[in-house]
Amino acid sequence: MPRSRFPQSVYGTGDEPDARFSLANERTFLAWNRTALALIAGGVALEALGLDLQPGLRLAASLILIAAGLVVPVLAWFEWGRIERALRVASPLPGSATSIALAVTIVLVAALVLLGVVLR
Tell me whether residue 10 is in a domain.
Answer: no
Tell me whether residue 7 is in a domain.
Answer: no
Tell me whether residue 1 is in a domain.
Answer: no
- 54-112 tens-digit pLDDT: 999 999 999 999 999 999 999 999 999 999 999 999 999 999 999 999 999 999 999 99
Going by pLDDT thresholds of 50, 70 and 90, the confidence category of residue 1 is very low
Tell me whether residue 40 is in a domain.
Answer: yes
Tell me whether residue 106 is in a domain.
Answer: yes
The residue segments making up the domain with residue 80 are 18-118
Burial group, residue 16, by CB count within 10 angstroms (0-12, 13-18, 19+): exposed
Tell me whether residue 82 is in a domain.
Answer: yes
* Entry pTM: 0.91
Domain total of the chain: 1
Rg (CA), the chain: 19
Tell me whether residue 45 is in a domain.
Answer: yes
Tell me whether residue 12 is in a domain.
Answer: no
| CA–CA distance, 118 with 102 (Å, rounded to integer) | 24
Please say whether the beta carbons of 93 and 83 come within 8 A.
yes
